[in-house]
Structure 1
């Protein structure tokens, strides 16, 4: 009689089908609704807790190197170049002989001027003797007053002729001296723009070479008037404090990003604004003992702005770039990832100053971006700058936020 209590096949099917549907729904409910780790597990990420700190503020501006003194060596007389007396690209001293122009015609002109001076001196001697003789005779009424006056006038004319001859001789000496071209400054000379046998002209001032002083150089950079106004406002309202004694210092960054070894100083900020760009020139001076900075080279100038006593800084690697090129940070709020658009300021020592979009006490994700997305639950852990990551303890609760370390 046992078989009387067994359900029929139709009844069994009616029981099994609802149970299968229940199991399917239960298995679907096990999947995380937020796209996190299976079973609701939280992805471990490294974070820092942002705290205000003291930071020196800098501005990086594009700059161009200029020689402090740039002497163009040009011909001041016309003639044939007969000698080049320097090694191209070498250092030269002030007064060092660089070029020689054929002096023969200028020697002849100088000799002619000297002869004219002697003739003028001889004429003046005769006129002076005659004037003295007439001075004696006029007292005895032996000569007329007109003859005496003419003798005195000829003496004065002879003296003027001597002065003119001396000036002509001096001009001839100057032209003869110009046939030997010397360096006007200490510096490094570039390539020779002429060769021996070339004809150079005084009227067109033919350029022969260039000597540049390179032991110290200028670096000119540009800054907008709007940025200068913001800087003055920040210092005026106390957001920034003037660094040191107010003397602005400068540093140069080379093409590869390395810092130039010699510090410089800001000489002046332009007193006029370029009407086409709305910018002013800032000139800095740098020592250049090893001749690393060369005229025409482009560098970046880092100018000291002031000190921010409450700067919020994050490691460079914490910054994320959006599709439109803006910066953002991933924060941990209520145990989940939240994206915060930010505005950044200068970078220093691997950190970036965040000027907007971040508050003191925020937990910023620094490592572990590969497996997270906005809204995903995460397990925050203190970040260590050396890359070592503290693993969560087994008895730690998976929900909630762990205490985050501060940036090193």
Structure 2
């Protein structure tokens, strides 16, 4: 340009010096950017918390549906026919074994007992006369004063009269028993339901409907249904040593979702499979002092049928899922690099997954900072629950130490 070309040598020297200074400043800034970038690369290794896993005995908790059933149920039925004269109980109340519940008209049965008593007295009188007669004939027969056949007939009549006494005594006992049955007692202790027959109703010994039903509710049974396939799987695990039997303490969850306050025990398991449902019935026994459980209620029962001695308890945040939905965890591998480990985790206990396959004793499973971990990349492992390692703030207010870069 004519203007620049016309500049003097000192002016051109000043322009050259300014250009060199700008280049120097640019180079210094580049070194600073490189230093910052290097620091970011060192701070980019994620810090993660890990736990060292060891096998521990874990109960195999089973949760199944069940129905409550009375500990004992008795239908109150008449053992004689007649008209009900009185009812002695209050419907829905607690009755004790042997307590009178109904009174059936006893008139006919009292008369039958009196008649049987009179028949017995008559038979006893006849038996006494026959016994005396036979006793008188015996010495006469020995002296041949009477025919031997006469003594034989008298002795047989005495024995027949004695048998008639026994027969009439049995008839009197029967009449008295029937008279006793006119008072209908409670066969068991428990809570009695509504009366199905009122005063003045005719009842018979062979009627279809009971007079009332008594249920014993403390304790109470819970019948639990378990599929035969699950039971077979459990028995194989016990046989192969993969599990050990556990004490069968049962807990209940009621229909409203609340927990029942008392624990029960498994009494027995049925020895056959229901062909209609493919299930086996297990019966548990529960205390029911407040009679909160009533027969026919639907409940959920949870109990430990066995214990897995070689399971691992892993916090739930540590277990992730791959694209196929399979469970996996990250473990700290060689050179502090994250390694993906597929595991088998099909159930939980509290806040932990129960891992039954895929881990070894002593593995360092990453439980904190899982979202920052990528397979095969380095991590900075610290014990789970440790506080974050933060460097003190520098004079400029920024966290971390001073830069090692030199100004240009």
User: Which range, TM-score by smaller chain?
Assistant: 0.5 to 0.7
Post-superposition Cα deviations, 1:294-341, rounded to whole Å, max 9, x if no partner, equal: 2222212212123334445567799999xxxx97769789999x9x99
Q: 1:200 to 1:366 in 2, by over 3 A?
A: farther
1:136 lines up with 2:139 in the alignment: yes
- Quote the offset at 1:145 in angstroms: 2.0
SS of the equivalent of 1:168 reads helix
> 1:268 maps to which residue?
268
- Alignment check: 8 A CA contact 1:83 1:99 kept: yes
User: Aligned equivalents of 1:332 and 1:237: distance in 2?
Assistant: 30
Q: 1:364 to 1:66 in 2, by over 3 A?
A: same
> 2:103 maps to which residue?
100
1:256 lines up with 2:263 in the alignment: no
Match of 1:190 among 157, 168, 193: 193
> 1:26 maps to which residue?
none
- Quote the offset at 1:76 in angstroms: 0.7
> 1:115 maps to which residue?
118
Q: 1:361 to 1:279 in 2, by over 3 A?
A: farther
> 2:207 maps to which residue?
204
- Quote the offset at 1:216 in angstroms: 0.9
- Quote the offset at 1:100 in angstroms: 1.0
- Alignment check: 8 A CA contact 1:50 1:364 kept: no
- Quote the offset at 1:56 in angstroms: 2.4
SS of the equivalent of 1:129 reads helix
> 2:297 maps to which residue?
297
> 1:349 maps to which residue?
350
User: Aligned equivalents of 1:294 and 1:317: distance in 2?
Assistant: 41
- Quote the offset at 1:203 in angstroms: 2.2
1:165 lines up with 2:156 in the alignment: no
- Alignment check: 8 A CA contact 2:330 2:370 kept: no
User: Aligned equivalents of 1:251 and 1:314: distance in 2?
Assistant: 24
- Alignment check: 8 A CA contact 1:332 1:365 kept: no
- Quote the offset at 1:61 in angstroms: 1.5
- Quote the offset at 1:79 in angstroms: 0.8
> 1:25 maps to which residue?
none
> 1:6 maps to which residue?
none
- Quote the offset at 1:141 in angstroms: 2.7
User: Aligned equivalents of 2:369 and 2:108: distance in 1?
Assistant: 80
Q: 1:81 to 1:187 in 2, by over 3 A?
A: same
SS of the equivalent of 2:211 reads strand
User: Aligned equivalents of 2:359 and 2:399: distance in 1?
Assistant: 32
User: Aligned equivalents of 1:277 and 1:297: distance in 2?
Assistant: 19
- Alignment check: 8 A CA contact 1:344 1:356 kept: no
SS of the equivalent of 2:86 reads strand
User: Aligned equivalents of 1:224 and 1:287: distance in 2?
Assistant: 26
User: Aligned equivalents of 1:327 and 1:180: distance in 2?
Assistant: 70
Q: 1:348 to 1:187 in 2, by over 3 A?
A: farther
Post-superposition Cα deviations, 1:102-138, rounded to whole Å, max 9, x if no partner, equal: 1111111111111111111111112112212222322
Paired residues for 1:145-184 under 5 Å: 145-184=148-187
- Quote the offset at 1:275 in angstroms: 3.8
> 1:372 maps to which residue?
none
Q: 1:269 to 1:121 in 2, by over 3 A?
A: same
- TM-score under structure 1 normalisation? 0.68
- Alignment check: 8 A CA contact 1:68 1:217 kept: yes
User: Aligned equivalents of 2:230 and 2:201: distance in 1?
Assistant: 53
- Which is higher, the Rg of structure 1 or of structure 2? 2
Match of 1:83 among 81, 86, 93: 86
What is the aligned residue count? 342
Q: 1:93 to 1:366 in 2, by over 3 A?
A: farther
Match of 1:223 among 199, 222, 226: 226
Q: 1:50 to 1:284 in 2, by over 3 A?
A: farther
Post-superposition Cα deviations, 1:227-263, rounded to whole Å, max 9, x if no partner, equal: 22322333344433444xxx42222221233322211
> 2:62 maps to which residue?
59
User: Aligned equivalents of 1:320 and 1:204: distance in 2?
Assistant: 66
Q: 1:209 to 1:242 in 2, by over 3 A?
A: same
- Alignment check: 8 A CA contact 1:343 1:355 kept: yes
User: Aligned equivalents of 2:242 and 2:315: distance in 1?
Assistant: 22
- Quote the offset at 1:223 in angstroms: 2.0
- TM-score under structure 2 normalisation? 0.68
